[in-house]
């Protein structure tokens, strides 16, 4: 947990420094803060045990996030995203896990570009960063892996400085096909048989522009 905390702090500093640089170069550049609430889907784990591949599913749950955005030029924005949810394994028949609860946090830095104009303009958004998976069972190791996201979003103006934002993203977390995760001192709860772990998310929020 200390590692991910330091990493998130570093990413925040990078985001703020990029914003400061752009603000210095263009005095009219804007900075946006968007609290998000959403719903996260997917996240099945493919498990290879005794040469048999089976699926272990995660329950679909509400997610919470925070999106920071700053102008790069007249069209593009940089973004820093944190998105978190608490879920559980719908089935995990493994004696080393005392409970099935799992927290999943994405921390990504990226940007967006517009693809249409109008009352509800569309833009493509994406980023790179880390996925942090934290089992509630304290005897099992946390997992932190590289990941990426891509999505589509729109903003509807309410006032000059307030917008409603709606969007969706797909997250892809990188694993080796022979990875073992959620291990204790003696064994591992899951042995993966795929290279990419996929989740999707729809969300909405209110964007405040400064």
CATH number of the domain to which 199 belongs: 2.40.160.20
State pLDDT tens for residues 109-162: 999 999 999 889 999 999 999 999 999 888 788 999 999 999 999 999 999 999
DSSP classification of residue 190: E
Chain centroid to Cα 99, Å, comes to 24
What is the band of 95 on the pLDDT scale with cuts at 50, 70, 90? very low
Pairing of the two strands 31-42 and 45-49: unpaired
Look-up of token digits 């693809």:
115
Give the residue-averaged pLDDT of 178-203.
82
Count: domains in the chain: 1
List, in order, residues 6 or more apart from 158 with CB less than 8 Å away: 164
What is the domain range of residue 28? 2-209
Predicted local distance difference test score (pLDDT) of residue 96: 47
Nearest of 84, 81, 83 to residue 102 by alpha carbon: 84
Among candidate residues 188, 121, 108, 195, the one with its CA nearest the CA of residue 153: 121
pLDDT at 187: 73
């Amino acid at each position: 947990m200390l590692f991910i905390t330091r990493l998130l702090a570093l990413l925040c500093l990078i985001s703020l420094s990029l914003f400061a640089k752009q603000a210095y170069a263009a005095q009219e550049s804007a900075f946006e803060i968007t609290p998000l609430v959403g719903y996260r889907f997917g996240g099945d784990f493919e498990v290879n045990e005794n040469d048999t591949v089976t699926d272990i599913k995660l329950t679909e749950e509400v997610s919470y996030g925070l999106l920071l955005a700053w102008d790069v030029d007249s069209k593009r924005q940089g973004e820093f995203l944190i998105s978190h949810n608490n879920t559980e394994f719908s089935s995990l028949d493994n004696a080393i896990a005392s409970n099935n609860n799992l927290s999943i946090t994405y921390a990504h830095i990226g940007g967006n570009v517009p693809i249409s104009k109008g009352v509800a303009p569309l833009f493509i958004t994406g980023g790179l960063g880390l996925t942090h998976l934290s089992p509630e069972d304290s005897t099992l190791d946390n997992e932190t892996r590289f990941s990426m996201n891509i999505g589509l979003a729109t903003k509807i103006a309410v006032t000059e400085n307030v917008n409603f934002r709606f969007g969706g993203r797909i997250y892809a977390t990188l694993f080796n096909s022979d990875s073992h995760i959620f291990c204790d001192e003696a064994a591992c709860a899951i042995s993966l048989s795929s290279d990419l772990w996929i989740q999707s998310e729809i969300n909405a929020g209110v964007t405040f522009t400064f």
